[in-house]
């Protein structure tokens, strides 16, 4: 098991790995986009709904980006996986709250929170991988945007309106986290990647005598907005 | 790789050094993870301590609660870890955020530890720290972990150190970015939203306490350390020359030397805190110097402490 995608083929992430990662992201972000499209009312009444609308638009950008930045190849193993993923993303309204619509919203927010926090696609890129590669830049942009997009879910899930059912909310989010994490890890294992092994890398402070990779590009720098 | 279960959460920790020796438990700062203690840890192990370092909830390889992290849970984890060490001298050292967790533990369970070392820590959040904390949180939300690190590097380290590490800074930022998740960092920072000052409870800390502060630490400046010194009964304040906020990383050898020396004095019953104020040595093995009498340790310029005010004396004399 290794912490990063690769080994590189002609200086690029192998097309099969690109295909698998992007297929997962399109499946999950696509499901979130569809659910957001249904959940956002025609006229907005709360601040967090504005955030959700913004997220809806950003999610569509992510889908478009993934479709174009990925080097796609046929992958027979994806058929079963996509079916498994799509089933997992189906809405599961949370029980134990005032009404069903609130339960649907909590589940939607929990799913979005899990998607934007558990999945760190840019953390899979080998250290020092060039910024100008479209797939790499797409991964960095998606992860960077996720840090902002999750704020909509945090605003809603931690907001005062859900304070009385905080335990129910926390439990729903933990459940979605576990689900997304398991599916994502399974996909990574299929490529012999264990993302948790990144924690065993030596801190740079102790690397004075070790060879240093070419300038490790920083997610958030290349795509940092003005 | 050892794991600890605490309230259904999995905590990653590491042990180094002789299993029966006196123990030092190290509590991380905000963006820290276990491996960053390594040079500090190795220096303590060389002196015969068993060192326990761990990732707090929300850090490194430990579980990362998705929405809420309560500081009470962090204190419970530290307590659970200390329980596993059995009956022997146990010292706790925490830096910054970790110092707060260590202080809270010592307030409630001071009898279970032999000594306490809060480093760059605080017991209250005055306006300056509150606004800095908010700005850092906003930076994290808008710019991600990399931007937070951009802000923290110049706050935490000296220019000399940053210059000497210039060729490694990109790698350091990348490794820090890999190890930290935005949502978990945000949860850790937001655990301070409900923070109540600990100042009034500090007098409950009975353990000998050495408060370490960097001469140039402007993130948690000296008034915060002074508050600890003034309220913790058996404490002494040691100012580390030319140090900023993260001196366990910039000066691990010197900090470990001070921690070792403190523990040895406590175990030999030679430690006398008495609210004293010291200037630490520049190098490992150097002596501590009492802060010059008659000068104000709270000032950045050598201002003499106020003697009986001449104007008020004159007023009294006139009145009589």
Cα separation, B76 vs B34, whole angstroms: 18
Task: Tell me, yes or no, whether A149 lies in a domain.
Answer: yes
Instruction: Say if residues A122 and A5 touch (Cβ distance below 8 Å).
Output: no
Instruction: Say if residues B208 and B232 touch (Cβ distance below 8 Å).
Output: no
Residues of B in Cβ contact (< 8 Å) with A116: 183
Task: Tell me, yes or no, whether A7 lies in a domain.
Answer: no
Q: How confident is the model at residue A195 (pLDDT cuts 50, 70, 90)?
A: confident
Domain that holds residue A154: 15-189
Give A74 to chain B, closest Cα distance, Å.
31
Q: Which of A128, A129, A216 to mutate to test the interface with B (most CBs of B within 10 A)?
A: A216
Task: Tell me, yes or no, whether A24 lies in a domain.
Answer: yes
pLDDT for A75 beyond 90: yes
Instruction: Say if residues B195 and B125 touch (Cβ distance below 8 Å).
Output: yes
Looking at this predicted complex, what is its ipTM? 0.88
Task: Tell me, yes or no, whether A222 lies in a domain.
Answer: no
Percentage above 90 pLDDT, chain A: 71
Instruction: Say if residues B268 and B132 touch (Cβ distance below 8 Å).
Output: no
Secondary-structure percent of chain B, ordered helix, strand, coil, rounded to 5: 45, 15, 40
Q: Do B66 and A196 touch (CB under 8 A)?
A: no
Q: Do B178 and A123 touch (CB under 8 A)?
A: yes
Biggest CA–CA distance in chain B, Å, is 76
Instruction: Say if residues B263 and B24 touch (Cβ distance below 8 Å).
Output: yes
In this predicted structure, what is the pLDDT of residue A49? 82
Full-model pTM:
0.91
Question: What's the number of domains chain A is made of?
Answer: 1
User: 3-state DSSP call for residue B193?
Assistant: coil
Task: Tell me, yes or no, whether A54 lies in a domain.
Answer: yes
Domains delineated in chain B = 3-124+197-290 (3.40.50.1820)
Q: Which residues, numbered 13 to 72 in chain B, qualify as contacts with chain A under a Cβ-Cβ cut-off of 8 Å?
A: 33, 35-36, 38-39, 60-61, 65-68
Q: Which residues, numbered 2 to 21 in chain A, qualify as contacts with chain B under a Cβ-Cβ cut-off of 8 Å?
A: none
Q: Do A154 and B165 touch (CB under 8 A)?
A: no
- What residue of A is the nearest CA neighbor of B60? A199
Task: Tell me, yes or no, whether A205 lies in a domain.
Answer: no
Task: Tell me, yes or no, whether A8 lies in a domain.
Answer: no
Q: Please give the angle made by the CA atoms of B235, B237 and B240, to the nearest 5 degrees.
A: 150
Cα separation, B77 vs B54, whole angstroms: 10
| pLDDT 10s digits, B105-126 | 999 999 999 999 999 999 999 9
Q: Do A173 and B67 touch (CB under 8 A)?
A: yes
CATH number of the domain bearing residue A78: 1.20.1260
User: 3-state DSSP call for residue B213?
Assistant: strand
- On whether any CB of chain B is under 8 Å from the CB of A178, the answer is no
Q: Which of A87, A148, A162 is closest to A113 using CA atoms?
A: A148
Q: Which of A64, A76, A167 is closest to B65 using CA atoms?
A: A167
Paired tokens of B97 = 């955020």
| pLDDT 10s digits, A201-212 | 888 877 654 444
- On whether any CB of chain A is under 8 Å from the CB of B170, the answer is yes
Task: Tell me, yes or no, whether A93 lies in a domain.
Answer: yes
Q: How confident is the model at residue B279 (pLDDT cuts 50, 70, 90)?
A: very high
| pLDDT 10s digits, A27-44 | 999 999 999 999 888 999
In this predicted structure, what is the pLDDT of residue A56? 94
């Amino acid at each position: 098991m290794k912490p990063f995608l690769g080994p590189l083929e002609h200086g690029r992430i192998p097309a099969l790995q690109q295909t698998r990662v992007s297929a997962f992201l399109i499946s999950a972000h696509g499901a979130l986009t569809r659910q957001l499209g249904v959940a956002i009312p025609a006229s907005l009444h709360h601040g967090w709904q504005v955030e959700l609308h913004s997220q809806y638009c950003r999610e569509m950008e992510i889908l478009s980006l993934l479709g174009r930045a990925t080097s796609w190849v046929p992958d027979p193993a994806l058929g079963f996986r996509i079916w498994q993923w799509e089933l997992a993303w189906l809405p599961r309204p949370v029980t134990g709250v005032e009404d069903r619509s609130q339960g649907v919203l909590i589940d939607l927010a929990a799913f979005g929170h899990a998607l934007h926090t558990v999945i760190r696609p840019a953390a899979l890129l080998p250290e020092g991988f060039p910024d100008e590669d479209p797939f790499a830049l797409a991964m960095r942009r998606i992860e960077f945007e996720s840090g902002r997009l999750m704020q909509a879910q945090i605003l809603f899930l931690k907001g005062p309106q859900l304070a009385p059912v905080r335990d129910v909310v926390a439990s729903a989010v933990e459940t979605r986290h576990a689900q997304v994490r398991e599916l994502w890890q399974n996909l990574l294992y299929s490529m012999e990647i264990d993302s948790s092994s990144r924690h065993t890398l030596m801190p740079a402070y102790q690397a004075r005598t070790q060879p240093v990779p070419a300038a490790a590009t920083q997610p958030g720098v290349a795509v940092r907005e003005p | 790789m050892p794991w600890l279960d605490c309230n259904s959460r999995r905590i990653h920790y590491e042990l180094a050094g002789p299993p029966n020796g006196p123990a030092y438990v190290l509590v991380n700062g905000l963006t820290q993870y276990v491996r960053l203690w390594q040079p500090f840890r190795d220096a303590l192990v060389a002196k015969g301590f068993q060192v326990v370092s761990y990732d707090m909830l929300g850090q490194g390889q430990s579980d990362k609660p998705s929405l809420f992290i309560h500081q009470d849970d962090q204190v419970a984890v530290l307590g659970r870890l200390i329980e596993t060490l059995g009956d022997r001298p146990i010292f706790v050292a925490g830096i910054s955020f970790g110092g707060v967790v260590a202080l809270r533990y010592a307030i409630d369970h001071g009898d279970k530890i032999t000594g306490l070392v809060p480093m760059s820590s605080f017991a209250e959040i005055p306006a300056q720290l509150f606004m800095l904390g908010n700005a850092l949180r906003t930076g994290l939300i808008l710019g991600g972990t990399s931007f937070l690190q951009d802000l923290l590097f110049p706050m935490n380290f000296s220019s000399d150190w940053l210059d000497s590490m210039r060729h490694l800074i990109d790698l350091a930022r990348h490794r820090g970015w890999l190890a930290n998740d935005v949502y978990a960092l945000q949860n850790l920072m937001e655990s301070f939203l409900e923070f109540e000052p600990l100042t009034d409870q500090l007098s409950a800390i009975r353990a000998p306490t050495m408060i370490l502060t960097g001469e140039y630490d402007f993130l948690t400046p000296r008034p915060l350390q002074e508050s600890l010194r003034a309220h913790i009964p058996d404490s002494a304040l040691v100012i580390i020359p030319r140090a900023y906020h993260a001196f366990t990383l910039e000066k691990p050898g010197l900090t470990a030397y001070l921690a070792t020396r403190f523990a040895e004095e406590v175990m030999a019953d030679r430690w006398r805190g008495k609210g004293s104020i010291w200037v630490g040595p520049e190098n490992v093995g150097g002596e501590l110097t009492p802060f010059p009498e008659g000068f104000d340790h709270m000032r950045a310029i050598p201002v003499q402490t106020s003697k009986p005010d001449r104007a008020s004396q004159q007023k009294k004399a006139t009145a009589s």
